[in-house]
A and B are shown apart, each in its own frame.
Chain A
Amino acid sequence: MESNRRSFLKIGGICALGLGALPVTKALARKALPQVSDFPEALKANQWAMVVDMKKCWEQADRDCKDCILACHQYHNVPDIGTIKEEIKWLWQESYHDTFHDQATKFNIANIEHNPIMVLCNHCTSPPCVRVCPTKATFKDKKSGIVKMDYHRCIGCRFCMAGCPYGARSFNFRDPIPYIKTELNMAYPARERGVVEKCSFCTERLARGLFPACVEACRHGALTFGDITDADSPVRKLLAENYSIKRRPELGTGPNVYYII
């Protein structure tokens, strides 16, 4: 009996070893995964950044100009839900007072407090939203520095919305598709109910050698896009010549959207 049990255990052990080895050999024998190669026309940067020259924006006679917002929201099939509660926005306006509340003063130059500021995702160097995401559905692309979203992986826990100190993230509380009031852009996916979304710095356009939709749409040259790590880039030149500010720099997030006021 004892020897029977021993031989049984031996055989069982060998079988288990064999089964255990199977995935190992499979993993070792597997060919390298196919790699995605970039389009030849792709625009590349170590860290994309944007400089928003609000002076140029405010100087316009047509203060109701919303070309950048319209271009962005149309290109990305952003729905118009129509309520503040469930609003979805990638690029929008907030007042100077609300955006830079830490540096607002009563006695600022004429009416600047009520002037609009264009706000969007800051594509932070150290993004808290990425840190808190439990599925890596939002992630920092090491090649471009863009904070990206995988709408197919997001579980809709909204931890990133609590983590983002800029209010840059929107959640699809309902099916957004009936609320897309612009012509559907088939080149960009519409989202499903239950996922978070935000500005993508037009990563899909950069891949095809195009600048972001908002930058392209601005007729007044208020939006400048470029590589913040490249000293010759247009953004760096602007920053070298003008005084600029960032939103809530004290939080250590390292925002990559700069404002010339």
Chain B
Amino acid sequence: MLERALTGSQKYYRLLMGLLILMGMGFAAYLYQLNTGLTITGLSRDVSWGFYIAQFTFLVGVAASAVMVVLPYYLHNVKVFGRITILGEFLAVASVTMCLLFIIVDLGKPMRLLNVILYPSPNSILFWDMIVLNGYLFLNIVIGWNVLEAERKGTDSPSWLKPLIYLSIPWAISIHTVTAFLYAGLPGRHLWLHSILAARFLASAFASGPALLILLALVLRKYTKFDAGKEAIDKLSQIVLYGMLVSIFFIGLEFFTAFYSNIPSHQHGLLYLFVGLDGYGKLVPFMWLFALLALAAVVLLINPKTRKDEKTLKIACLCVFFSMWIEKGLGLVIGGFIPNPFEQVREYLPTVPELIITMGIWATGFFVLTILYKIAVSVKEEVE
């Protein structure tokens, strides 16, 4: 089936070329980082994780797109998702690939990466994260590929695949839970030290993943013969709405605990993010943009008219995706480090090389996604 990725229209090649150029730029910037060290980033002694780890955290969420189509289709027999499970699974493959790359570029000594396997440390959540992420990648590649192959041959998918598909559902939950545990178990980091963090991650994932999936399905319909179907998109948009509402509710819960209890250390992180702390507030405009986008998304999604109209649905999905990107991909990770253990505020903003590397990895993800979607769509066009 892989050969279908090699032949395509001019537009397809142009897209791949464009992505390859961005990937090359990212790779060049990474070589620069590899030679000079993480000093080229905005990271500091106090904010020791930044943009890379934040992207990783956000993209773990996008990878949940798969489970939000697989679960209804296989467990609740929602037939309209039958056509698009493959899109969800391949989106998960691309997202997890980006996650792994973001972890690698964040390492100070990437050449020692295999030490994680050489000296396995079950006490470290990072060890478990490695297992669940790689497992999820593997599951989605195997499931996606075999389902597609069966579709091409016009047969049922092999019987051994069913258990793997069922396994992939709790496994998707596990990647969020374990990723949240990276943060939620650290003493003294009050913005993260909440039992609701894992649930918050799941909720935001169920909003941002399917939102991107809707956008991708609409793009595919425009440029290929593949149509996800109105019903499937409508169902997905309902999932996005619920995911978004629950996410906002959970964030509200954090505010209640911090401000009603009136414990200063629990308020500091939120204060820094939304109004600034000790006169520092570089992230404040971003966080208000998040609030605004989240509100716009809810307004557009809750009204059935705007939700069913594709033009407004597109805007709503973009709002969901970017609001969650800011909240999880920027605020949550960086805000957790501010103030530092001495309650001093040391701010962080990514540098240009850091942004180029980040862009390169996103381009890599979309490159993988383009190729996988090309194969899927070619097969589906052939069958029809």
A170-B45 in contact (CB<8A):
yes
Which residues of the other chain, B, contact A102 by a CB distance below 8 angstroms?
265
Task: Name the residue of chain B whose CB is nearest to the CB of A133.
Answer: B124
At the interface with chain B, which of A2-10, A149-157, A182-190, A220-228?
Answer: A149-157
The answer to the question of A99 belonging to the interface, with a C-beta cut-off of 8 Å to chain B, is yes
State in angstroms the CA–CA spacing of A133 and B43 once bound together.
Answer: 19
B342 engages A174 (CB within 8 Å): no
A174 touching B37 in the complex, CB below 8 Å, given contacts A134-B121, A166-B341 = yes
Q: How far is the CA of A136 from the CA of B117 in the complex (A)?
A: 11
Question: In the complex, are the beta carbons of A173 and B123 less than 8 A apart?
Answer: no
- Indicate if the CB atoms of A251 and B187 lie closer than 8 Å: yes
Residue of A nearest to B348 (CB): A85
Known: A157-B126, A195-B109, A252-B187. Is A135-B342 also a contact (CB below 8 A)?
Answer: no
- Minimal Cβ-Cβ distance residue in A for B333: A162
Tell yes or no: A164 within 8 A of B by CB: yes
> In the complex, what's the smallest C-beta–C-beta distance from B347 to chain A, in angstroms?
10
Question: A138-166: which residues lie under 8 A (CB-CB) from chain B?
Answer: 153-159, 161-166
Which one of B48, B118, B183, B342 contacts A158 once the chains associate, using CB atoms below 8 Å?
B48
Task: Give A59 to B307 CA distance when docked, in angstroms.
Answer: 71
A205 contacts chain B at the CB level, 8 A cutoff: no
B186 touches A153 (CB 8 A): no
Across the interface, name the chain A residue whose C-beta is closest to B183.
Answer: A162
Q: In the bound complex, how far is the Cα of B112 from the Cα of A157, in angstroms?
A: 10
B107 at the interface (CB under 8 A from A): yes
Closest chain B CB from A118 CB (angstroms): 13
| Docked-complex contact A158 and B108, CB < 8 angstroms | yes
Interface size on B, residues (CB 8 A): 45
Determine the distance from Cα of A101 to Cα of B340 in the docked complex, in whole angstroms: 12
- Pick the contact of B36: A86, A101, A174, A248 (CB < 8 A): A174
- Complex Cα distance A130/B121, Å? 10
Report how far A260 CA is from B339 CA in the complex, Å.
26
A209 within 8 A of B: no
Across the interface, do B108 and A155 meet the contact criterion of CB distance under 8 Å? yes
* Beta-carbon nearest neighbor of A252 in chain B: B187
Residue A17, interface by CB 8 Å: no
Determine if B48 and A132 form an interchain contact, defined as CB atoms under 8 angstroms apart: no
A153 CA to B119 CA, complexed, in Å: 9
Interface-central residue, B45, B49, B106, B119, by most chain A CB under 10 Å: B45
B196 CB within 8 Å of chain A: no
Residue from the list A88, A134, A164, A167 in contact with B124, Cβ < 8 A? A134
Q: What is the minimal beta-carbon distance from A222 to any residue of chain B, in angstroms?
A: 21
Please name the residue on chain B nearest to A157 by beta carbon. Answer: B107
CA distance A161 to B189 in the complex (A): 11
Q: Does B292 contact A (CB under 8 A)?
A: no
B123–A162 touching, CB < 8 Å:
no
A95 to chain B, nearest CB (A): 8
Which chain A residues border B130 with CB–CB below 8 Å? 134
B7 interface residue (CB < 8 Å to A): no
**A134-B343 in contact (CB<8A):** no
B354 to chain A, nearest CB (A): 12
**B188 contacts A by Cβ under 8 Å:** yes
In A105-135, which residues have CB < 8 Å from any B CB?
128, 130-135
A98 proximal to B (CB < 8 A): yes
B159 within 8 Å of A by Cβ?
Answer: no
- Contact (Cβ within 8 A) B38 A98: no
Most buried by B among A128, A135, A170, A251: A135
Q: In angstroms, how far is the closest chain B Cβ from the Cβ of A256?
A: 16
Chain B's closest residue to A167 (CB) is B341
Contact of A171 among B108, B188, B189, B342 (CB under 8 A): B108
Chain B residues contacting A101 (CB-CB under 8 Å) are 342-343
9 A-B pairs in the complex with CB atoms less than 8 angstroms apart: A86-B45, A87-B45, A88-B45, A134-B124, A155-B115, A155-B116, A159-B126, A159-B182, A165-B187
- Report, nearest first, the 5 A-B pairs whose CB atoms are least far apart: A156-B108, A165-B188, A194-B108, A167-B341, A134-B126
